[in-house]
Chain A
């Protein structure tokens, strides 16, 4: 942590809300190398030997602890790839804060591809927060491609908040989940794209266990000439409940495609999808203007609220 410069510290604040050394376990990766690590009695972090990345091992029954594993890229032209595996013991209840920020002030492309795999044991609960952020005035692209693979055993629970609001030129976000009996998955995705940025999201959830459920909700704002594609697929393979929703605001010359897909392979699978894409309603802007906001301020309030 002490080895980080001001730019890197700012990125760290953006992606993980870290202002100082975080409490609990953490692993900070900066420009492809370890920059700081702490483990606790219940949470161990081990460097992989066969490929870049870490194993995060959380003991059964661990309660109210957190792990921060942010990644910072400030070196233009660096392509970084990591494999992080999370082993969450039975009955644990923890918060995991990940995220990646790129500062690129050069001409070469900077890219981070993170492959996170979760093994959530019986009745464990995880809150997973993931933020992606880019900055820098260079011509080089800022690319982030997160892949998340989620395995939830009986009665397990994962709530995933994934946010990308600013500065990422291109992203392909793949999430694949497998749920066993009584397991629950809740995903809230928030994305905003500007300029010529592109964002593609691919969710696929297999509801394999009896009584499993998934709620996948995406809210996005596409501005200027940016393009977004949202693919969400839920497969109901047992008595289960699945819901997927895409809600997008489109502005200027942007483009958004929402492609929800449901497959019921069991008569007791209850699956729902919703998708709505549209511009900001004129009446919303007028309402906020009657409260004294300018048109531009009203628009920002609506977007900020939508993505809050």
Chain B
């Protein structure tokens, strides 16, 4: 289980401190959890705080009872946290097979690597020896990023907007990947997404807006409210808050 206790994060913007995350308290114990909410609400920041990429200004992060707040990115990865970036990083020289092996943490065979690539809809033989450089399209590199998380097999996998940059045809495949992960992996999956079809397979939905958790609960509890209110619009967000009060 992952627990966030009073987690806050702020940046200095034009000499003003701007709070991105405001005293977040969350318990993530379900199998597949989706964080959603309007752009700029703090979703990606929260994911990076969990992975250790940025440090909170206050609060604690607890993984399976252990305080990991002070741990580095590397140590958190070794504890079982993996992270798929919204905008995957490109590397000159490192090939797809290199990266999948690094993700797996061992010298897996080409056949094993191909299985992970096939799961995200890539014809593996076409990609295995390609460099992860600018010659790959945004959608291709995104799917390779997801394959790397599959290869890692971590107990807590974070996907930051996996649907971003993926075409509609591939999106169906992506849904299947998450459905399969839901059935096969033992760990937990945290997905940041705006997509209704991803929300529809979540065990729990967390709604984050303006640095606050404004709603959380099961899919059945949260989805009707999301569908009723356009939370991407701040005015409606205020209305939603008022309705809840």
Contacts and interface: CB of A to CB of B under 8 A. Distances in A.
A33 B235 CA distance: 86
28 contacts: A247-B92, A281-B89, A283-B89, A284-B91, A286-B89, A287-B85, A287-B88, A289-B72, A289-B73, A289-B77, A290-B51, A290-B53, A290-B81, A290-B83, A291-B77, A291-B102, A292-B74, A292-B77, A293-B74, A293-B102, A301-B102, A302-B91, A302-B93, A302-B94, A304-B93, A305-B94, A306-B92, A307-B93
Contacts of B210: none
Tell me what chain A mostly uses at the interface: helix, strand, loop, or mixed.
helix
Nearest to A247: B92
A20 interface: no
Interface in B78-101: 78, 81-83, 85, 88-89, 91-95, 98
B92 A291 contact: no
Interface in A272-308: 281, 283-284, 286-295, 301-302, 304-308
Given A291-B152, A292-B105, A286 B53 contact: yes
A219 B74 contact: no
Contacts of A284: 89, 91
B93 A305 contact: yes
Q: Which of A281, A286, A295 has the most CB of B within 10 A?
A: A286
Contact of B94 (A247, A292, A295, A301): A301
Tell me what chain B mostly uses at the interface: helix, strand, loop, or mixed.
mixed
B96 to A, nearest CB: 12
A305 B78 contact: no
Interface residues of A, number: 22
Given A306-B93, A306-B94, 15 more contacts: A219-B93, A283-B89, A284-B89, A286-B73, A286-B89, A289-B73, A290-B51, A290-B77, A290-B83, A291-B102, A291-B148, A292-B77, A302-B93, A305-B94, A305-B98
Contacts of B98: 305
Nearest to B53: A286
Interface string A141-176: 000000000000000000000000000000000000
Q: Which of A288, A293, A302, A307 has the most CB of B within 10 A?
A: A288
B92 A295 contact: no
A195 B129 CA distance: 33
B117 interface: no
State the 6 A-B residue pairs at the shortest beta-carbon distance, nearest first. Answer: A305-B93, A305-B94, A289-B73, A306-B93, A292-B77, A287-B89
A295 B103 CA distance: 15
Q: Which of B72, B93, B152 has the most CB of A within 10 A?
A: B93
A301 B88 CA distance: 17
Interface in B50-66: 51, 53
B74 A294 contact: yes
Interface string B198-216: 0000000000000000000
A307 B94 CA distance: 9
